[in-house]
Amino acid sequence: MSKEWPLWEIFIRGQHGLSHRHVGSLHAPDAEMAIKNARDVYTRRNEGVSIWVVEANHIAASAPSEKGPLYEPSESKIYRHPTFYDIPDDVGHM
Amino acid sequence: MYAQMIQSEASQDDPQKLAEFQARIDADIKIEPRDWMPEGYRKTLIRQIGQHAHSEIVGQLPEGNWITRAPTLERKMILLAKVQDEAGHGLYLYCAAETLGVSRDDLTEQLLSGKMKYSSIFNYPTLTWADIGAVGWLVDGAAIMNQVPLQRTSYGPYSRAMIRICKEESFHQRQGFDIMMKMAQGSEAQRRMAQDALNRFWYPSLMMFGPSDADSVHSTQNMAWKIKMNTNDELRQKFVDQTVPQAEFLGLTVPDETLSWNEEKGGYDFSEPDWSEFFDVLKGNGPCNTERLEARNKAWDDGAWVREGLLAHAEKKRARKTAAE
Amino acid sequence: MAQNNTHLAEFLLRMGDNALILGHRTSEWCGHAPVLEEDIALANTALDLIGQTQLWLTYAAEVMGDGKTADDLAFLRDVWDFRNLLLVELPNGDFGHTLMRQFLFDAYQSIHLPRLVRSTDPRVAEIAEKASKEASYHVERSADTVVGLGDGTEESHNRMQAALDRLWPYVGEMFATDPVDAAMAEAGIAPDPASLRTEYDALVGRVLAEATLTVPESTFAHKGGRTGQTHTEHLGHLLTQMQWLQRAYPGATW
């Protein structure tokens, strides 16, 4: 079996000025492609966002304590939203 | 469901640690990748999340079957966006599984060799455009029943993936019902097509929840671990109760002569699907099992040179950069 | 229809049909790409293109003024009425072939659409404004992939060179000026395609060189798609599939 593309952790800052936030991971051959993949997978090309990618095995993480507290860490196309579909009230909740 | 018949793995762990682990779960504290967890919990989760991920990407195929034949530009975009979401959901779930120490390639190999399963529902064919409506309405409707509670599952990465999935998935069922409405209000041929789709997808949709597991030890363990949130029968009942009035609204007939409202239990009485058919499908004898696995294998094999080529380029670039420094 | 409008409608059909046919071809990949990340990216490209189709064909239908819709134009015309480049109707081939075709088209769009943003026709400018943003991302992505695969393994290099050799004869059609183009240029609606060739060759040349690929020497160009004079045999099969429901159930609402 051929080698797998490395895993990248994806951090995105949205338009509202909040700091970059971990949104998930993906595979890519290098950092440049990871950024492009992140754009396609996690932002659906929303304008004005900033993307950070970090290769997963470069992340140093604190060790969880046994009982300790938890370490908690798009503008989409309109048809992706439920309100796009006009479902009559009689149908009930969907 | 997308993860049917998940057996739990027994653990040989320190009772003290097990008790602390269970106490955390009971207190609704999420388990995170680096936390201690029983080996059985880890293995069961890999199996469940992996099967769920496989279901998403195999699930692209029956609906993808109609992308090139969608009847309007808008329907084409909606369907493409939906099937693309399924690829995304598969991706999120594979990533969640990877936090448990298995690689996406390992899981993929197990799917392609037939060692790991995916949901039985995707082994049924989509023959007409109404089937695309029925899949959205019934199959996504059934999936949502299971996925909404799983947002509260005990494993952090799985829970976060489910939250993202549920958010994106909210339009999927509605687009299916919207297609069914157009068909049901359409020409005689369209109404017949819609009824035919309901006839073929009704029982396979009920099978998605899996056979009754009220007495299953696996189910009890998985519910204690909060990686399964409801029994199969609870979810199936909920699905029937929600769906029957929707079918009536469409003017379609649920293909079950025994279907009747039971005032006492506040739900419908309905016929069980043919479970021997279900087990046949799981064994590989569904109408499309062979085609589905062939398609996944072909995509994987044909894509090998692309994955290798892009990786080789990335390594060359890195080497050049290092040499320049 | 006045002569001016005939030319404008013809131009809009060319824009819309390119987007429609390539969007359709790209959508064929959904569920079959080499890796999930690429599957999702290709679907985004297809969604952008079909979205552009709606805008171009809606305007084309308005200019034609006979009460048709974008869907009528997409689903009820036969082969000889299509005005897309032959390049975009060619079958997908392998992933490298698909990405090479995408790049050769994206490169053209990334140069053509920004010019249309300055069109004297406000509707054309408005559509181009949206489409050019999408095209600039498309070309970035497809160029990267062409470079990655061209300069990847020996196998990926050979496959990309084969794709380029196969597709290069379909590039010249983009720049073959005809009376419709002349009328559009005259009216300031769209640039004369021939005037874009130098910039195109520079962009494509730079990327293909980085991809270690050799541009074929032949300047022969297959033509006829955008004028409607001829098409490849492939387009008819594509339409057979795409138009099936509309043809089988005439007048139905979906």
What amino acid is encoded at B309 in this protein?
A: G
Q: Which one of A24, A41, A64 has the shortest CB-CB distance to B35? A: A64
Mean pLDDT of B105-130: 97
Q: Could you give the 3-state DSSP secondary structure of residue C39?
A: helix
CB C254 to CB B77 under 8 A? no
Nearest CA to CA, how far is C74 from chain B (Å)?
Answer: 8
Whether C134 contacts C108, CB under 8 Å:
no
Instruction: Assess if residue C20 is contained within a domain.
Output: yes
Exposed, middle or buried: residue B213 (CB in 10 Å: 0-12, 13-18, 19+)? Answer: buried
CB A81 to CB B171 under 8 A? yes
> Biggest alpha carbon distance in chain C?
56
Residue B171: list chain A partners with CB under 8 A: 79-82, 84-85
Separation CA B250–CA B190 (nearest Å): 12
CATH code where residue C241 lies: 1.20.1260.10
Whether C84 contacts C225, CB under 8 Å:
yes
Question: Which range of residues forms the domain containing residue C88?
Answer: 3-248
pLDDT one-digit tens code per residue, B7-46: 777 667 889 999 999 999 999 999 999 999 999 999 999 9
Among all residues of chain C, which has the CA nearest to that of A29? C148
Q: What is the DSSP string of C83-113?
A: ---HHHHS---SHHHHHHHHHHHHHHHHHHH
Instruction: Assess if residue C152 is contained within a domain.
Output: yes
What are the DSSP E strand ranges found in chain A?
A: 7-13, 21-27, 50-55
Nearest CA to CA, how far is A47 from chain B (Å)?
Answer: 19
CB A33 to CB B36 under 8 A? no
Instruction: Assess if residue C110 is contained within a domain.
Output: yes
Separation CA C172–CA C223 (nearest Å): 8
Q: Which one of A32, A41, A77 has the shortest CB-CB distance to C144? A: A32
Instruction: Assess if residue C212 is contained within a domain.
Output: yes
CB A1 to CB B105 under 8 A? yes
Find the range with the poorest average confidence among A50-59, A82-91, B113-122, B210-219.
A82-91
B residues 91-110 closer than 8 Å to C (CB) = 91, 94
ipTM for the predicted complex: 0.97
What amino acid is encoded at C92 in this protein?
A: N
Instruction: Assess if residue C254 is contained within a domain.
Output: no
CB B174 to CB A27 under 8 A? no
pTM over 0.90: yes
Separation CA C101–CA C171 (nearest Å): 9
With 80 as the cut, is the pLDDT of residue B264 above it? yes
Write C186-189 long-range contacts (CB < 8 A, 24+). C187/C4, C187/C120, C187/C121, C188/C119, C188/C120, C189/C8, C189/C11, C189/C119, C189/C120, C189/C121, C189/C124
CB A33 to CB C35 under 8 A? no
B301 near C CB under 8 A: no
CB atoms within 10 A of CB B119: 26
Instruction: Assess if residue C193 is contained within a domain.
Output: yes
Residue A32: list chain C partners with CB under 8 A: 144
CB C44 to CB B84 under 8 A? yes
Instruction: Assess if residue C137 is contained within a domain.
Output: yes
Nearest CA to CA, how far is A41 from chain C (Å)?
Answer: 7
pLDDT digit string (tens) for chain C, length 254 residues = 677 799 999 999 999 999 999 999 999 999 999 999 999 999 999 999 999 999 999 999 999 999 999 999 999 999 999 999 999 999 999 999 999 999 999 999 999 999 999 999 999 999 999 999 999 999 999 999 999 999 999 999 999 999 999 999 999 999 999 999 999 999 999 999 999 999 999 999 999 999 999 999 999 999 999 999 999 999 999 999 999 999 999 999 99
Tell me the pLDDT band of B256, cut-offs 50, 70 and 90: very high
Residue C35: list chain A partners with CB under 8 A: 5, 27
**Amino acid A70: pLDDT:** 43
pLDDT one-digit tens code per residue, B60-69: 999 999 999 9
Instruction: Assess if residue C253 is contained within a domain.
Output: no
Whether C22 contacts C56, CB under 8 Å:
no
Domains in chain C, number: 1
